[in-house]
């Protein structure tokens, strides 16, 4: 496994996709009024794309319409000091095609936040980046 200069394992695209599929929650990074914004969301992977369910009038739905966004998911074990992080960058689009919407509504993607969430955003990843802290990594003396 290749390592970066910090001693973290560099994950390939297949590993990134596999780890993303195992995460229940991620964070979408987008631009809101010319400033960076981050929002935690639950998601599903559909045909390699990240799918998020949101409300029609949400700030997220308006901000990501055909925008380039980043999406990040991770998992860490505090006790063992291991974990991973995966970031994808890609084009986000609001799903409007009726057949595609019907398919997405049947997903087991249920919003955690209260309220109606019948708007779907689909991110097509173009760039994958992932790192993993190996189990054998020496613990840092900095806290």
Which residue in the block uniquely carries the two structure tokens 């974990």?
A: 83
Which among 122, 13, 109, 112 has a CA at the least distance from the CA of 64? Answer: 122
Overall fold of domain 13-130: Pnp Oxidase; Chain A (2.30.110)
* Per-residue pLDDT tens digits for 58-96: 888 778 878 999 999 999 999 999 999 999 999 999 999
CA angle 78, 10, 51 (to 5 degrees): 80
- Distance between CA atoms of residues 129 and 11, nearest Å: 7
Name the token pair of 31. Answer: 């631009």
* Per-residue pLDDT tens digits for 24-43: 999 999 998 889 999 999 99
- Distance between CA atoms of residues 27 and 12, nearest Å: 20
**pTM of the shown model:** 0.88
């Amino acid at each position: 496994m290749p390592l970066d200069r910090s001693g973290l394992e560099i994950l390939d695209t297949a590993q990134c996709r596999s780890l993303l599929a195992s995460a229940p929650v991620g964070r979408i990074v987008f631009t809101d009024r010319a400033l960076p914004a981050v929002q935690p969301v639950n998601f599903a992977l559909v045909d390699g794309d990240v799918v998020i369910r949101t409300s029609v009038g949400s700030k997220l739905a308006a901000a990501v319409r055909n925008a380039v966004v980043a999406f990040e998911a991770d998992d860490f074990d505090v006790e063992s000091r291991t974990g991973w992080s995966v970031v994808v960058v890609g084009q986000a689009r609001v799903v409007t095609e009726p057949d595609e919407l019907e398919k997405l509504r049947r997903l087991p993607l249920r919003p955690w936040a209260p309220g109606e969430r019948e708007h779907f955003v689909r991110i097509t990843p173009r760039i994958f980046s992932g790192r993993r802290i190996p189990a054998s990594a020496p613990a840092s003396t900095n806290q």
